[in-house]
Amino acid sequence: MEPKSSPDIAPNLAPDIAPDRYTRLKAIKDFGYDITWTDLANRTITIAGVGGLGMITADILARCGVGQLNLFDKDTVDTVNLNRIGFLESDIGKDKVSVIARNINQINPDVKTRPVHGDIMNFGVEDLFDEAVANSDAVLMGVDNYPARMFVNQKCINHKKPLFNAGVSRSALSGFVQSIFPGKTACLQCVARVKGTNENLERGASCVASLPTTFAIIAGIQTQETLKFLLGLGTVLDYITYNALTGDFHQFQTSRDPHCSACSTCDSDDDTDC
């Protein structure tokens, strides 16, 4: 086969390999990082809530070629959601998971979606969510109220599944990301008592303000840490906060609460569910 001379083809690309949608992702390997993007096709991710964070994480993971995305959300698209990335005016009134699944199919038809419209804490949907978590490689937090967050935390502990927890404050001017490995690192309940780590997240209340920029920053970090875990790239961070007013990022090293009501009996070395 004759070498191609198109200026659009990277000079280090083998001449007999046609560029595809993953070519620029695979190019990271050329910089010395031993990662295999095609492994993502065998991975399943569950996203609990496809609002301001979940719609972005789903979009990015689809573009990166994750094999299956399980999407859970109880809401429909409202006019006030249009300032966020991903929804169109014509989506108003439709359930969010169907809209996101439609978007993913248009972004990357290689990705299988399993949209479930309903409250993960309600009878019937809970079983579907439990099954999805049990069969996932990781779970991403996208719900915006404290009881649901604790519910997701407990499901991930029960099945020993990594949880990439994240949230944006009610003012939309700060946020955080926490990587949770049940039985190894602090869970959501463990850090709930740590002053300063999530003091801006008001318990039991849905978000009020919304800045698409803050959501994009937090969702970007949340997805970045998920991809690093899936690909074995670098060190997955423990806990990071972002303050939009100062531009500051702060990292924290959390520690497990030995008396945590959610995870204290969970042992990562034991193969059985907690």
Binding-site ranges for Zn ion (CB under 5 A)? 187, 189-190, 260, 262-263
Taking the least distance from each CB to Zn ion, the nearer of 189 and 214 is 189
Closest distance to Zn ion from the beta carbon of 245 (Å): 30
Closest distance to Zn ion from the beta carbon of 258 (Å): 9
Of these residues, 156, 187, 190, 207, which one is catalytic? Answer: 207
Residue 207 annotated among the catalytic residues of the structure: yes
Taking the least distance from each CB to Zn ion, the nearer of 165 and 214 is 165
Closest distance to Zn ion from the beta carbon of 229 (Å): 19
Closest distance to Zn ion from the beta carbon of 166 (Å): 17
Closest distance to Zn ion from the beta carbon of 159 (Å): 15
Give residue 171's Cα distance to chain centre. 21
3 state SS for the chain? CCCCCCCCCCCCCCCCCCCCCCHHHHHHHHHCCCCCHHHHHHCEEEEECCCCCHHHHHHHHHHHCCCEEEEEECCECCHHHHHCCCCCHHHCCCEHHHHHHHHHHHHCCCCEEEEEECCCCCCCHHHHHHHHHHCCCEEEECCCCHHHHHHHHHHHHHHCCCEEEEEECCCCCEEEEEEECCCCCCCHHHHCCCCCCCCCCCCCCCCCCCCHHHHHHHHHHHHHHHHHHHHCCCCCCCEEEEECCCCEEEEECCCCCCCCCCCCCCCCCCCCCC
Taking the least distance from each CB to Zn ion, the nearer of 113 and 189 is 189
Nearest to 222 by CA among 148, 160, 101, 140: 140
Which residues have a catalytic role annotated?
207
